[in-house]
């Protein structure tokens, strides 16, 4: 059986999908009994250099030709404007869709999935989270019998590369970012990555499928790594922690925390060992326990691998009439999403080097029921901060678990203490044991 596949958007991922479908056509046919045949590939500009040569007879600049000639339309343009209209038009015209567009699905996916459901068509989106890591399929199919307790991990390779370089080479944020751009790991405008939005889109999509409920994307708390000071990376190292940009969705009683922020992890945590551009996701279910998925979260080839897994699933539905596994069902019930997280905290204040300073900060924390776990030795902090221990010095406090709102109230009070100079640093710490 032949299933016709058309692609709109032939950039990094699009040309990777063309390459895979042409090079591994027989491998796929042998394993599935289905021939995935490329019908048409649309892009705005065919003069542009591509990593893989697309045969002339497949090329077009008219997306309608792709819809017309295919059973499955693959959207690989990106963004929310034309990509959304294209997907709607393909569904309206009875075509299944595969997309890697996390931005669109996280923010406006509900409308598209509803339309697909009405039309009894599929939208495959394995490639939208974790690149080549088969996390969408794992959560939706393999772990479907579990109540998911948490899904969290490193979902953005660019920021993981930057933080790895800061940790390993002790270079500052701007130097590490420049290096990431030179190596092609970061865009010229890196804001979607470094400000946490890319991770937020991915954790939103994972939460929709893990917890079976849709929620508005603006419920996700997002904080990026732009303001991370090398000093805190080094102080974390001194304390046995490694800094990562974590995307976290975690159930606590009947509430769900969904958040993206820089996070200290103990160096023995499996996620702390995930370096450079690699991604990893930990999923915990009530029956399966903890499972971890690791691999390349981006790039032409890994992402193409994920796109093709969706293509094969949908092609099997077309060829053999299996019920479509790709459909997402939205429960009408909204999740109870809380911004009152429960976490440990690393705090750093610039303070005068004199007695009584710690006591005044500790008192404010105590008023908010936040207990101090440890205070980093002044000599160590001063050495790393390259300060002499005279005048203004950094004071580092680690707390036990506390509620976010209490912590924010405490920080507002501490900022106004006469002993605190400048803006304090607050980094959350994920640690199993208390």
Ligand X SMILES: NC(=O)c1ccc[n+]([C@@H]2O[C@H](COP(=O)([O-])OP(=O)(O)OC[C@H]3O[C@@H](n4cnc5c(N)ncnc54)[C@H](OP(=O)(O)O)[C@@H]3O)[C@@H](O)[C@H]2O)c1
- Site for ligand X, rule CB under 6 A: 8-14, 42-45, 63, 76-78, 82, 100-102, 127, 131, 298-299, 303
Nearest of 326, 301, 305 to residue 315 by alpha carbon: 326
Output 220 or 351, the one with its CB closest to ligand X: 220
We find the least distance from the C-beta atom of residue 12 to ligand X, in angstroms, to be 4
Output 195 or 431, the one with its CB closest to ligand X: 195
Output 78 or 236, the one with its CB closest to ligand X: 78
- Assign 3-class secondary structure to 156-207: CHHHHHHHHHHHHHCCCHHHHHHHHHHCCCCCCCCHHHHCCHHHHHHHHHHH
Beta bridge partners of 38: 5
**Cα–Cα distance measured from residue 43 to residue 253, given in angstroms and rounded to the nearest whole number:** 48
Nearest of 397, 128, 428, 9 to residue 259 by alpha carbon: 428
Question: Which residues have C-beta within 8 Å of that of residue 388, sequence separation ≥ 6?
Answer: 382
**Cα–Cα distance measured from residue 107 to residue 143, given in angstroms and rounded to the nearest whole number:** 25
We find the least distance from the C-beta atom of residue 230 to ligand X, in angstroms, to be 28
356 secondary structure, DSSP code:
T
We find the least distance from the C-beta atom of residue 40 to ligand X, in angstroms, to be 11
Dihedral of CA atoms 284, 286, 288, 293 in degrees, nearest 10, equals -10
**202 in active site:** yes
Check 4, 95, 137, 202 and give the catalytic one: 202
We find the least distance from the C-beta atom of residue 280 to ligand X, in angstroms, to be 16
**Cα–Cα distance measured from residue 172 to residue 386, given in angstroms and rounded to the nearest whole number:** 15
Residue where the block lists tokens 């390459």: 19
Output 4 or 201, the one with its CB closest to ligand X: 201
Beta bridge partners of 4: 37
We find the least distance from the C-beta atom of residue 176 to ligand X, in angstroms, to be 19
Q: Answer positive or negative: Cα dihedral of 376, 382, 388, 391.
A: negative
Residue where the block lists tokens 């506390």: 402
We find the least distance from the C-beta atom of residue 411 to ligand X, in angstroms, to be 35
Output 167 or 185, the one with its CB closest to ligand X: 185
Output 82 or 330, the one with its CB closest to ligand X: 82
Nearest of 321, 333, 311, 306 to residue 120 by alpha carbon: 321
We find the least distance from the C-beta atom of residue 281 to ligand X, in angstroms, to be 14
Query: What tokens does 64 get?
Result: 């309608």
Output 100 or 256, the one with its CB closest to ligand X: 100
Q: Which residues are catalytic?
A: 202
């Amino acid at each position: 059986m032949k299933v016709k596949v058309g692609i709109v958007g032939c950039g990094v991922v699009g040309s990777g999908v063309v390459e895979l479908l042409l090079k591994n056509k027989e491998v796929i046919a042998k394993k599935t009994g289905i021939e995935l045949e490329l019908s048409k590939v649309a892009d705005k500009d065919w003069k542009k250099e591509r990593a893989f040569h697309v045969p002339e007879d497949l090329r077009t600049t008219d997306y309608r030709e792709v819809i017309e000639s295919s059973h499955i339309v693959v959207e690989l343009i990106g963004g929310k404007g034309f990509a959304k209209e294209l997907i709607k038009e393909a569904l309206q015209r009875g075509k299944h869709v595969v997309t890697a567009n996390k931005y669109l699905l996280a923010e406006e996916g509900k409308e598209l999935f509803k339309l697909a459901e009405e039309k009894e068509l599929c939208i495959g989106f394995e490639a939208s989270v974790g690149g080549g890591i088969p996390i969408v399929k794992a959560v939706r199919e393999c772990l479907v019998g579990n109540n998911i307790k948490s899904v969290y991990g490193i979902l953005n390779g660019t920021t993981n590369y930057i933080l790895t370089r800061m940790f390993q080479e002790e270079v500052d944020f701007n130097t590490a970012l420049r290096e990431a751009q030179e190596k092609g790991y970061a865009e010229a405008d890196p804001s979607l990555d470094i400000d946490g939005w890319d991770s937020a889109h991915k954790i939103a999509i994972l939460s929709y499928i893990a917890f079976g409920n849709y929620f508005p994307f603006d419920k996700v708390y997002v904080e990026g790594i732009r303001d991370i000071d090398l000093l805190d990376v080094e102080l974390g190292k001194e304390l046995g922690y490694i800094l990562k940009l974590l995307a976290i969705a975690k159930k606590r009683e009947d509430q769900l925390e969904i958040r993206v922020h820089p996070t200290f992890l103990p160096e023995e945590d499996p996620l702390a060992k995930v370096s450079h551009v690699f991604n990893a996701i930990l999923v915990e279910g009530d029956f399966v326990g903890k499972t971890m998925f690791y691999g390349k979260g981006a790039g032409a080839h890994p992402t193409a691998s994920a796109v093709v897994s969706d293509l094969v699933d949908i092609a099997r539905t077309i060829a053999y009439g299996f019920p479509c596994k790709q459909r997402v069902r939205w429960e009408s019930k909204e999740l109870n999403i809380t911004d009152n997280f429960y976490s440990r905290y690393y705090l750093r204040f610039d303070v005068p080097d004199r007695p009584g300073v710690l006591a005044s900060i500790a008192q404010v924390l105590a008023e908010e029921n936040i207990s101090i776990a440890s205070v980093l030795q002044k000599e160590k902090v001063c050495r790393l901060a390259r300060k002499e221990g005279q005048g203004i010095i950094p004071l580092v406090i680690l707390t036990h678990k506390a509620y976010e709102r209490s912590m924010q109230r405490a920080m507002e009070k501490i900022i106004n203490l006469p002993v605190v100079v400048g803006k304090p640093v607050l980094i959350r710490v994920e640690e199993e044991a208390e």
